[in-house]
Copies of this chain bind each other. A is one copy, B any other.
Amino acid sequence: MRIMHTADWHIGKRLAGFDLAADQEAVFEELVKVAAREQVDAIIIAGDLYDRANPSEESVLQVNHMLKRLNRELHYPLLVVSGNHDSGVRLGSGREWFDATGLFMHTTLAEAFTPVVLGDTQFFLLPYFEPVAARLYFDDATLTNINKAMHRVSQTLQQQFDPAKKHVLVAHFFAAGSTHSESETLVNVGGLDAVAVSDLAAFDYVALGHLHNRHALNEAKVQYAGSLLKYSVSEAHQEKGVYILDTETMRRKFVSIKPLHDLQHLTGTFAGFADPAGFSAAERDAYTALTLKDDTVIPNVMATLRKIFPRLIGLDRERQVDLGEQPHANVKLAPTMLVAEFFHQVTGHEMSAEQLEWAKSALVKAKEED
């Protein structure tokens, strides 16, 4: 069998205020094309379908549409687990009806122990779970962290192994050895809160979600799919796409998927960025974080750069302006100009005459109090 492995869709996620729904929809349609071209037999979605536990109606409609398209229209069996960003309850609403058409969605720990059998393979769908869920399920107070809990879960899953079949684990957690990017919620990262890869050795393959970097872990049979899109500046250089797993050989290959708009992080001078001729249409259309090499105050910096890069998601300076210990060109500027520049950086708007007046009188007052 040929299985597509994707994860971390994060439907509903916004990037610096930008709604990503259209980008997600576009990359999803590309994913559909890959599934057809690669003639996959089933699709794994390894958690974080939603970006938050209580998604908006628009996000619910979008995920429903995606699942419906893959399962009801295109008839792919789907192997889905909930991630830490999903509410298992809300995502799993209706899941008792899903099995009938081959949409297998597990959102509670208990469900993981009943494998889904497709062709030559047993799939164990283990949703994201907290150690307390394992303590309750096993009635074992010693399962105080995810590593201990997963050890027990893994042992129990192996009891369900059919020796005549291959065994694939679909899960959503932080596996030891992997590294993080900014767009994951960093809660309890550390040795005790990571799953030891050794506890996964019994499986022929482990298809993971959680970390957005597909290279986060370098293991022969344990693989993060990576996120659907670049969801933070730290992911700017990561290639996004899906894996295609062959269950006969347990070999996978990566198929990259081009987004509607890329996400880039550029470093340069304001003069360079402010020249539209220096960038292609695609570069100007990308979600863009800029790092300025300049040290001088630049009036209207956000407003000017937004004209060149309408999807500007971040702006900083290569050298931090530190007014305290290291004297700097900027300190020679009038304080109102510094305030005006700061206002720009934060809001992207110019200060109005009235606001400038307020700033001036506040500075006068502050000086008096000195």
Q: Is the CB of A60 within 8 A of B93?
A: yes
In-complex Cβ contact of A89 among B57, B89, B96, B101 (8 A): B57
A98 to B94, CA, bound (A): 8
- A87 at the B interface (CB under 8 A): yes
Measured between beta carbons, the chain B residues less than 8 angstroms from A64 are 93-94, 96
A96 to B103, CA, bound (A): 12
A358 to B93, CA, bound (A): 51
- A54 at the B interface (CB under 8 A): yes
Measured between beta carbons, the chain B residues less than 8 angstroms from A68 are 96
A interface residues, how many (CB within 8 angstroms) = 20
- A90 at the B interface (CB under 8 A): yes
Contact with B along A185-223 (1 / 0, CB 8 A): 000000000000000000000000000000000000000
- A360 at the B interface (CB under 8 A): no
Chain B residue, CB-CB nearest to A100? B100
Q: Is the CB of B90 within 8 A of A60?
A: yes
- A334 at the B interface (CB under 8 A): no
Which residues of chain A (21-72) have a CB below 8 Å from chain B?
54, 57, 60-61, 64, 68, 71-72
Which residues of chain A (121-154) have a CB below 8 Å from chain B?
none
Measured between beta carbons, the chain B residues less than 8 angstroms from A2 are none
Can you name 11 extra interface pairs (CB under 8 A) apart from A93-B94, A97-B101?
A57-B90, A60-B89, A64-B93, A64-B94, A68-B96, A71-B97, A90-B93, A93-B93, A94-B97, A97-B103, A100-B101
- Enumerate 17 A-B pairs (CB-CB under 8 Å) in ascending A order: A54-B54, A57-B89, A57-B90, A60-B89, A60-B90, A64-B96, A68-B96, A71-B97, A72-B96, A72-B97, A93-B93, A93-B94, A94-B94, A97-B97, A97-B101, A97-B103, A100-B100
Residues of A within 8 A of B (CB): 54, 57, 60-61, 64, 68, 71-72, 87, 89-90, 93-98, 100-101, 103
